[in-house]
Amino acid sequence: MAMLDLRRIRTEPEAVIAALDRRGPGTSDPVKRVIELDAAHRRVGAERDEVRGRIKSLSKEVGRLRGQGRTDEAEALMAESRALGEREKELAAEADRLAEEIRSTLLVVPNTPSDDAPDGAGDADNVVLRTEGYDPDAYGPHQRVPHWEIGEQLGLFDFERAAKISGSMFVMYRGWGARLLRAMVQLSLDRNADAYVEVRPPTLVRTETMVSTGHLPKFADDAYHVERDDLWAIPTAEVPLTSLHRDEILDAGDLPLRYCAYTSCYRREAGAAGKDTRGLLRAHEFDKVELLAVAADAEQAIACQEDVLARSEGLLRDLGLAYRVVDLCAGDLGASAARTWDLEAYAPGVDQWLEVSSVSWFGDYQARRANIRVRPAPEVGPDGTATRPKGTVVAHTVNGSAMGWPRTVAAYLETHRQPDGSVAVVEALRPYLGGAVAITPP
């Protein structure tokens, strides 16, 4: 299991190094180490094979000498063979050690950014592609109230009891808050049911499932680990969905495969120190609807990425939220992503653009780790005969949120708060809330 194709590193080392260094200085250092290890591994492997060949040759010669009654000569060659056998064991062990070091080193190397991802060192260099529905002068004083105050006034959350039960950075929705969350989830599932097969995967997964998406080993500190059973609480439904077809060979004619999942997600937010964690802005457990596609190649995958983005944008429009589409620069991409478009909803009460979705194309990075391969479609020749190309290729994966709900709820409450303190229910949500047109104080 690796992430970057070792053959590509061998044949295009300069290109791989240059691509990784777009993420930041030193990012390619592990690959430079892999190049050294791979050269050593091939040298050791060649010597091991040479020794094996010599042992086989000696074995034949020993048999011939014994057949001729030349026992002393045969014994001498057997002694040489035994010495070579010990050397072969040493070389085999060294080859295995080098192969494991190559594997473990590659597992922490991020993906190479797409050529289309903008250059930049961090979030300040991200490119806003477009902004929809935002007029900074259109928000009244009644909308400049943070969602945690709105929630307190309307009885939507109970942060104190959530902390009593589970600790800080956990959320309890109650009453209309719980109903609003559930309505948004169902709206998303219904909007995407036309093309995405709904799945309710387990939320505790094996280590290899986390490794397949690149969440391990790199992000172990941000994950919840049930050590007794060696299971991990998923940080996103992307993790189990990616492994649906792990170790499988798919027919290109069946692709893309599209899946949709609503789950709870768990993140320790180990790096949240000093960041705003009030209200719904950061939580250890949160609800999310995830869309994922398995594609045959880059062209098909990019079309899937555009589809996920369009669907997520449509949902934000249905909810009446101002939002913007942000093209993440190479230095701000997630480790597994080749290209990412973030959707950020505007929350007037906290006066922030809140990331509510990341729509990412991973190239073959995740599928290579998960060993998801594609059998190419038959090619039709000039005579009309269809022949299937030999071998398989690695699939491509795409995923995006539709949506990450806590921040979406925050932006919704602040955007739709009315002068009397109630929160308007947009038309798209009314069928899921018994026809209610507003959320009012209890």
What tens digit of pLDDT does each residue of 389-430 get? 889 999 999 999 999 999 999 999 999 999 999 999 999 999
What pLDDT digit, counting tens, does each position of 223-265 carry? 999 999 999 999 999 999 999 999 999 999 999 999 999 999 9
**Whole-number pLDDT of residue 273:** 60
**Whole-number pLDDT of residue 138:** 96
The CATH class given to the 6-106 domain equals mainly alpha
Averaged confidence pLDDT in the chain: 94
Quick one: average pLDDT of 255-284? 87
Q: Where are the alpha helices (DSSP H) in 338-429?
A: 365-370, 405-415
Residues in Cβ contact with 382 at an 8 Å cutoff, skipping those fewer than 6 apart: none
The Cα–Cα gap between 315 and 342 comes to 14
The dihedral sign for the CA sequence 145, 146, 147, 150: negative
The dihedral sign for the CA sequence 331, 333, 336, 340: negative
Are the CB atoms for 395 and 401 separated by under 8 Å? no
Question: How far is CA 202 from each of CA 197, 234, 305, 435, 438, rounded to the nearest angstrom?
Answer: 16, 9, 25, 33, 35
pTM of this prediction exceeds 0.95: no
SS3 196: coil
Are the CB atoms for 321 and 347 separated by under 8 Å? no
**In this model, does residue 274 exceed pLDDT 70?**
no
Strand order through the sheet with 249-251: 249-251, 373-375, 393-394
**Whole-number pLDDT of residue 31:** 96
Of 264, 244, 284, 269, the C-alpha closest to 204 is 264
Residue whose pair of structure tokens reads 């086989």 in the numeric block: 56
Of 187, 232, 142, the C-alpha closest to 419 is 142
**In this model, does residue 366 exceed pLDDT 90?**
yes
Least confident of 36-45, 75-84, 240-249: 75-84
Quick one: average pLDDT of 28-49? 96
What are the structure tokens assigned to 310, written together?
């369009």
**In this model, does residue 1 exceed pLDDT 60?**
no
Quick one: average pLDDT of 304-313? 98
The CATH class given to the 123-439 domain equals alpha beta
Q: What are the start-end ranges of the E strands in 168-273?
A: 197-199, 204-206, 224-226, 231-233, 249-251, 257-266
Are the CB atoms for 112 and 4 separated by under 8 Å? yes
**Whole-number pLDDT of residue 76:** 85
**In this model, does residue 77 exceed pLDDT 80?**
yes
Question: How far is CA 300 from each of CA 251, 372, 378, rounded to the nearest angstrom?
Answer: 14, 16, 17
Of 155, 429, 402, the C-alpha closest to 263 is 402
Are the CB atoms for 109 and 30 separated by under 8 Å? yes
**In this model, does residue 377 exceed pLDDT 90?**
no
Q: What letter does residue 204 receive in the DSSP assignment?
A: E
The Cα–Cα gap between 143 and 415 comes to 6
**In this model, does residue 2 exceed pLDDT 60?**
no
Quick one: average pLDDT of 134-150? 97
Beta bridge partners of 257: 294
Domain ranges of the chain: 6-106, 123-439
**In this model, does residue 17 exceed pLDDT 70?**
yes
Q: Residue 69 — very low, low, confident or very high, per pLDDT cuts 50/70/90? A: confident
**In this model, does residue 384 exceed pLDDT 80?**
no
The Cα–Cα gap between 40 and 34 comes to 10
The Cα–Cα gap between 83 and 50 comes to 14
The Cα–Cα gap between 441 and 401 comes to 31
The CA angle 174-175-177, to the nearest 5 degrees, is 65
Of 128, 102, 126, 119, the C-alpha closest to 44 is 102
Of 323, 393, 396, the C-alpha closest to 360 is 396
The dihedral sign for the CA sequence 248, 254, 258, 261: negative
Q: Inter-axis angle of helices 176-192 and 405-415, to 10 degrees? A: 110
**Whole-number pLDDT of residue 3:** 66
Instruction: State which amino acid sits at residue 293.
Output: A
Of 264, 252, 331, the C-alpha closest to 294 is 252
Half-sphere exposure (CA, 13 Å, Cβ side) for 161? 8
